[in-house]
Structure 1
Amino acid sequence: MTLEQTFPGLRDAPGGAVISLLDNAFGITAPANEDMAKTTQERSAYLISQIKALDPHWTFQSLGFPTTWEGQKNQLNDLRMQRAAAFSRIEGDLRPMQVETMRAMQGLADKAYSKAVRLYDAGALRGHLSKEQAIGRFVDNEVRRGLRSIYEDYKIKEVSKQVRVNRREYGTSAPESSYRIPDARVGDVAYDVTLSPKSLKSPQIRGFFNADFRPQLVVVVRPRQLGRGSSYIINRPEAGK
């Protein structure tokens, strides 16, 4: 799956357009039952066959198909990330990793937001920051930490130097060199975790597009607790192509 498949209409959208995330982009969400277990097992087998086709020496370490719904979902997520790593390592294709990075960051943001709200209500995050600032900072840090851990587990740093977390991205085309720090970067895609909606009018988003790595897309990741369509993608402005 690529970002163009995950965000319907992205291919034909005008420059600078905001495109909403496909509702089922994160896979199966229905309650566990016998039919869903069969579906997840079939998807797992398909992912395994794809990875083996890319890397005949790869072996899937498993004690058998999980019996719990949570275990089944975790296995699918694991296989998706392993497939993305294989595409990056063998084919030099970062598109699957761009999708899996979005999936991972969304899940991390959702969990971090719920935890931050509990901590704030318990008085653990209170200080000189407002509630939104305190929760936002907590979510940012948790997502970055979690994503670094995922990349380390799957040895993503060994796959491509274009996969980065919270690193400076310089823009040297202006008279004075400047930089922005996306929460993550995978190839020509930048990722920004935020509580507040952002658009091309946001200096941070404009700064990403002006960076030397010339991102074609900026994925804005917001906790799903903030409402349907909270996460979205902004494609490169026409003038910047």
Structure 2
Amino acid sequence: MDDRRRVLREAFNFVEAETIRIRLVDADIPAVVTGTDAGVALSMGGAGTDRLVRVEVAEADYDRANEILRADQARMRDAKPWICSRCGEPNEPAFEVCWSCGKPLADVDQRGAPTPLKPSDFTVDAPREEAPPELDADPNPYRPARLPSGTAIARPGVDVERQEDLEEQVRRAFLSSMVGLLVCPPLVNFYSLALVLMVPSEAYQRPPLRNRLLLAWVIDFVSIGVWTIVWMSTLR
């Protein structure tokens, strides 16, 4: 039996050479890897080498092994990416199994690169802008524009001032009712009642102000009633 071996391929590293060896073993062709990986030799403190890593086969298997590798190279050159029919992920031509879901390549899988997205796929419809209210046509360009009937004109400053004025009136009425419990009752409470009566009814439509006004009413009536009874009892 002829034990002579022949160099089939030279590789830059052991990974590439081992890949070739495994491919030949799958085809029932024994192969061995010889030589030194320059990067590995230098990393281990050794000297560099000018001999690449080699894949060697028996002399009798050389032609068949060379034909197998050439056929693989031609198939890889002509192969196209494929899209997995299960998960829809694209795969490189060298992949025989989908990298995403692990499904083996089959005839139902689409060959070719995935369809690139068009710019229109990323467009978003802009929000529609409402048209401004149409103004009455007027031949006089210097006349102030007339808005349609029923159009409300926002005056934020007026609402804020009105709110502050109501809060101030309610605060004065409430504090005077509290002071009337200790200072000159029930005279101060009569003054507090006058302040409460002068507060506009609009304040009762706002819960925080309404609660303070109702409490002022209760304090004033209780104070006036209690101190009236006390004074009448002292006069007897």
- TM-score when scaled to structure 2? 0.20
Give 1 or 2 for the bigger CA radius of gyration: 2
Instruction: Compare relative contact order (CA 8 Å, sep 6+) and give the higher one, 1 or 2.
Output: 1
